[in-house]
Amino acid sequence: MKIETIKSWILVLLLAPALALAANDDADWTNKLKDQYFAGKSIEESSDVIEIDAPYRAEDPALVPIKIVSKVPQTRDSYIKKILVLVDKNPFPFVGEFEFTPESGKADLAMRIRVNTYSNIRAIAEMNDGRLIMTKKFVKASGGCSAPIGADLDAAMQRLGKMKFRLDDGAKIGEPTQAQLLISHPNITGMQMDQVTRFVKKSHFIKEMRISFNDKPILTAKTDIAISADPNFRFYFVPDKAGVLKAEVADTSCESPTSRDACTAGNSFSETYTLNP
Amino acid sequence: MRLLFALILSLASGSMSAAPVLSVTEVAPGVYVHLGVHELPDTKNHGAIANIGFIVGERCVAVIDTGGNPRQGKSLKLAIEHTTSKPVCYVINTHVHPDHIYGNKAFKAPGVQFVGHQKLARAMATRGLYYIDKAADQLDVKLTADDIIPPDIAVKDHLDLDLGGRTLKLTAHRAAHTDNDLTVYDERTDTLWISDLLFIEHLPVIDGSLKGWLAELKTLESHAYKTVIPGHGPIVTDWPKSMQPEKAYLEMLLTEIRDMIKQGKYMEEAVETVGYSARGQWRLFDEFHRKNVTTAFAELEWEN
Ligand SMILES: [Zn+2]
C-alpha cells in the first residue's frame, strides 16, 4: 500500500467523528437556504409559535408523517399567515409554503413527506404583522431498503386525481374542526439514474392546493416533490354555518427534479364535502 | 498512533485483498445457497445479509441474486468456480433491494444475460441514485452507476430458462414485497426460490403491497413444493407450514389497520398501536415494523 493511501485513510478516520456531527448542522440553512427564502430579513428562533412533531427516525424515507403544531390561536388581530417547510438536506429542500387565515381557526398542519437523509426539518412561520419565527426538528434517516419514492407507483398512477375528505365526527359551528384531505397522486420526484433511461419520468407533482369553506380560503399551498406519494393533509377550519368544504389542486411536470425553470402546467382536480353539523 | 495505524492497515487490507470464496450449501441436487444473517444492513456487514446462490444445469449456471456488495458478488462467483466448470449464462435478480443486487457487476461478461421482473429496470432507475448515496453512508460500500445493472431480459408474466437439461420457470408477481418480485421454480428438484416473498425469523418487510403480497401467498400456498428458499431465513422443507407466521403477521396488519381506518384513526396512531402482539416472534421487529404499518396504512387508506 502506498504511503499516500495510508495518509488518506488516517485523514478519513480522524474526520469521521466531525462528519457525523456535521450531519446535525445548520450549514445548508445558513449558507444557502436563509438567503434564498429570507434575504435580509431577521428570523427569531423559538418554539413558542409553532413546533414540529416528527418521528426521531424516518422509518420509511418515502413517508415520514410530520405535524406542525401551532401554539397561538388564529384571531382577526393576530394570526399565522404563512408557514414555509424545508428539509435542509433533501435534493430539493422546498416542501411547501402554506397560507392560513383567521378562518383556519388553528394553523396546525399534518402531512407526509420524503426525507432522504439525516436532516433538519425546518418550519418558518410568518405572522400577519410580518414577524418571522423559525422552529426545527432533526430526523435520522432510515436504515432499511426502501427509497424515497413510493411503494406501488402503478397503483398511485391508476388512481391519479382521485380525492377524498375525511372529517372528525362532531364538527361544531364556530369551533376549529379538523379535516383530512387525501389526494391520490404518485408525486413523481423525477430523480433517476441516467443510464436506465427507457423509463424517464419527469418530475410530476401537485404544485398547488386551495382549500376553502363556503368560498372563504382556509388553506392555500404551494407544494413540491418532497410531499409523499398520495399527498395527505390534515388541517383546521372554523365552520360558521353549514356549507361546502372545497379543495382545488393542480399538478405540474418539470424537466429537472431540482429546478423549477422549465415546467409545464398539468391537470386540475377538485373535491367537495358538504358539512351539516 | 501505532494502534490507529494497525487499525487502518487491517481496515484497508480487509477491503483490498482478494474476495474470499463464499460458503454455499447444496440444498437440493445442483441448487446451492449461501444463507444470510438476520441483521440490519450496516457498515460492518456491508449489506451482505440475504440468501443468495445459484443453480447448475448441464450446459450452464444461473445465479440467483448476487449479494449485498460488489465484493460479495465476487465471492459468490468464486464459489461457483469452485463448484462447477460450467459458465454462468443467466443472472436472475429476484427484486430491486440492495442486499440482492449489489453483487451484479462481478458477473457482467459476454454471454451472461441479466434477468428480472419487467418493473425491475424502472425500480433500479428511480431508486439507483438514492441507493448509491446510501451505500457509502450506511454500508461503507463505494458504488457507482455501473454496479446497478438492469435486466437484459424482462419477465412480464412467465419465462422458461433452459440451463441444459434443466428448466427454470420464472414468475413475475404483482406488487407484493416490492413491485418487482420474481420467483424461480426448478422443475428437476421441485424447488421454489421464492426469495423475499418469504421471510422466516426476520420480520417480513413491506415495500410493495400488503394486499398483493397476501394474494400471492394464497396462490403459492395452494402448490406443494419439496424445497422452498426464502430471501431471509432457513431453507424450508415443510411448505406451506413455515410460511404461516409470515401470513399471520401480514393478515394481522391487514385486519388491525383496516379497523383503525374505519375508526377514523391516523397513520401516526396506527404506527404506535398496531401489531405489537407479534413483537416477540420476530427478529428485527423494532427495525421494520413501524415502516410496515406506515406502508400498509398508506395503501389501505385507498380501499373503496
Ligand atoms: Zn427485499
Kindly state the DSSP code that residue A102 receives in the 8-state scheme: G
CA B196 to ligand 1 centroid distance, Å: 5
Flag if A149 and B126 touch (Cβ within 8 Å): yes
Does residue A196 belong to the interface with chain B, where contact is any CB pair within 8 Å?
yes
| Structural domain that includes position B125 | 14-240
Residue B9 counted as domain residue: no
Domain presence at residue B180 = yes
Provide the shortest C-alpha distance from residue A174 to chain B (in Å): 22
Over residues B38-75, the pLDDT tens digits come to: 999 999 999 999 999 999 999 999 999 999 999 999 99
Map residue B30 onto helix, strand or coil. Answer: coil
* A5 at B interface, C-beta within 8 A: yes
**Domains contained in chain B, number:** 1
CA A114 to CA A133: how far, in whole Å? 23
- Give the distance from residue A116's alpha carbon to the nearest chain B alpha carbon, in angstroms: 8
Residues forming a β-bridge with A181: A165, A233
Interface residue of B268, B269, B274, B300 to substitute, partner A, most A CBs within 10 Å: B268
**Residue B221 resides in a domain:** yes
Amino acid symbol at B207:
D
**CB distance A151–B206 less than 8 Å?**
yes
Find cell 430523480 and name the residue.
Answer: A191
Mutate to test the interface with A, among B3, B8, B131, B304 (most CBs of A within 10 A): B8
Higher pLDDT, A263 or B15: A263
Domain boundaries, chain A: 1-40, 44-275
Position B15 pLDDT exceeds 60:
no
Q: Which of B83, B62, B77 is nearest to B184 (CA)?
A: B62
Q: How far apart are CA B92 and CA B51, in angstroms?
A: 13
A135 contacts: CB under 8 Å, gap ≥ 6: A45, A46, A47, A49, A50, A51, A52, A122, A123, A125
Q: Tell me the average pLDDT of chain A.
A: 89
Largest interatomic CA distance in chain A: 78
pLDDT score recorded for residue A152: 87
Cα–ligand 1 centroid distance for B48 (angstroms): 12
Q: Are A6 and B5 within 8 A, CB to CB?
A: yes
Hey, is the C-beta of A144 within 8 angstroms of any chain B C-beta?
yes
Q: What spacing in Å lies between the alpha carbon of A10 and ligand 1's midpoint?
A: 35
Answer whether residue B78 shows pLDDT above 70.
Answer: yes
B104 φ/ψ angles, rounded to the nearest 5 degrees? -50, -45
- Give me the pLDDT at residue A277, please: 73
- Reference B246, options B263, B262, B231; nearest CA is B231
Which of B98, B209, B180, B291 lies closest to A63, judged by CA?
Answer: B291
pLDDT digits (tens, 9 = 90+) for A211-241: 999 999 999 999 999 999 999 999 999 999 9
Among B179, B121, B128, B112, CA closest to B151: B121
Q: Tell if the CB–CB gap between A60 and B291 is shorter than 8 Å.
A: yes
Q: Is the pLDDT of residue A176 over 80?
A: yes
User: How confident is residue A164, by pLDDT bands cut at 50, 70 and 90?
Assistant: very high
Chain A nearest CA to B146, separation (Å): 9
Q: Does residue B270 lie in a domain region?
A: no
Q: Which pLDDT score is estimated for B23?
A: 97
For residue B13, pLDDT over 70 is answered with no
Q: Is the pLDDT of residue B107 over 90?
A: yes
Picking from B7, B16, B295, the nearest residue to A63 by CB comes out as B295
pLDDT at A2: 46
Give CATH for domain A44-275.
2.60.40.2470
Q: Are the CB atoms for B27 and B33 separated by under 8 Å?
A: yes
Rounded-to-integer distance, Cα B208 and Cα B193, Å: 19
Average of per-residue pLDDT across B108-122 = 96
CB B231 within 8 A of CB B196: yes
Exposure string over B233-252, b if 16+ CB within 10 A, otherwise e:
bebbeebbebbebbbebbee
Report chain A's terminal Cα–Cα distance, integer Å: 77
Q: Residue A24 has what pLDDT?
A: 56
C-alpha torsion B99→B104→B106→B108, nearest 10: 180
Residues in chain A: 277
Residue A217 β-bridge partners: A212
DSSP string, A209-228: EEEEETTEEEEEEEE-TTBP
A129 within 8 A of A152, measured Cβ to Cβ: no
> Which residues on B lie below 8 Å from A1 (Cβ)?
9, 12-13, 16
Positions of E strands within B57-134: 61-64, 88-92, 113-117
Mean per-residue pLDDT, B87-111: 98
Which pLDDT band, with edges at 50, 70 and 90, does A200 fall under? Answer: low
Q: By the 8 A CB rule, do A190 and A204 touch?
A: yes
Report yes or no: A198 at the B interface, CB cutoff 8 Å: yes
Of B154, B25, B131, give the one whose Cα is nearest residue B69.
B131
Contacting residues of A for B138, CB less than 8 Å apart = 141, 143
Q: Look up the CATH number of the domain holding residue B117.
A: 3.60.15.10
CA of B178 relative to ligand 1 center, distance in Å: 7
Q: Is the peptide bond before B240 cis (omega within 30 degrees of 0)?
A: yes
Nearest Cα residue in chain B from A193: B125
Under DSSP, the state recorded for B276 is G
Residue A193: what pLDDT? 82
Say if the Cβ atoms of B301 and A6 lie within 8 Å. Answer: no
Q: Do A191 and B130 touch (CB under 8 A)?
A: yes
| Residue B69: inside a domain | yes
Task: Report the C-alpha gap between B291 and A240 in whole angstroms.
Answer: 40
**pLDDT for res B17:** 67
Closest listed residue to residue B45, CA positions, set B72, B65, B75, B7:
B72
Determine the Cα–Cα distance for residues B130 and A127; give it in Å rounded to an integer: 37
Q: Which residues on chain B are in Cβ contact (under 8 Å) with A147?
A: 126-127, 130-131
CA of A107 to the centre of ligand 1 (A): 40
Query: How many C-beta atoms surround the C-beta of residue B16 within 10 A?
Result: 9
